[in-house]
Amino acid sequence: MYGDINEPLQVDLLAASLRADMTDLKAFMEALAVKLEGALPAHTVVTRQSSLFSREHPVKEIAVTLGDTQYRLGRERQGPLLALRAKVVRGIVLKTEPIPVEQWVEELATLLAQEANRNAQARAALERFLL
């Protein structure tokens, strides 16, 4: 990429990539799930809705865990997005708080940029994520 990914421009670019398709929530959740699963498969869990005779299995929730923080973005069938930030210690959720979706995107982008600075494999994955 170009220099330090923690530069404000890089974090802004990552955040813009995360929120690229927010006008259509179903497409946004699907695109975000694909991007995050592809970039950080070990840190991302995607839950899909399922019904007996449905051909479609839309994304219900995306959970990204980095360090001791978990970011979850979920949506019921036709409802609005619900963004949550959770404090996780040794696999146990100690505190969960709702946050605005914009704040969720910004915080996740910042954490992803920090992870890329610590880990070369995460950095390569995030470079693919942005392209």
> Is the confidence at residue 115, as pLDDT, over 70?
yes
| Cα–Cα dist 26/69, whole Å | 25
- Residue 117's CB is within 10 A of a number of other CB atoms, namely 13
Residue 64 phi, psi dihedral angles, 5° rounding: -120, 120
Confidence of residue 35 (pLDDT cuts 50, 70, 90): confident
- Strand locations in 56-114, DSSP E? 59-66, 69-75, 81-89, 92-99
Average pLDDT over residues 2-10: 46
Please tell me the predicted confidence (pLDDT) of residue 17. Answer: 62
Please tell me the predicted confidence (pLDDT) of residue 100. Answer: 92
| Number of alpha carbons in the 13 Å side-chain half-sphere of residue 20 | 14
Report residue 107 as tokens: 């915080």
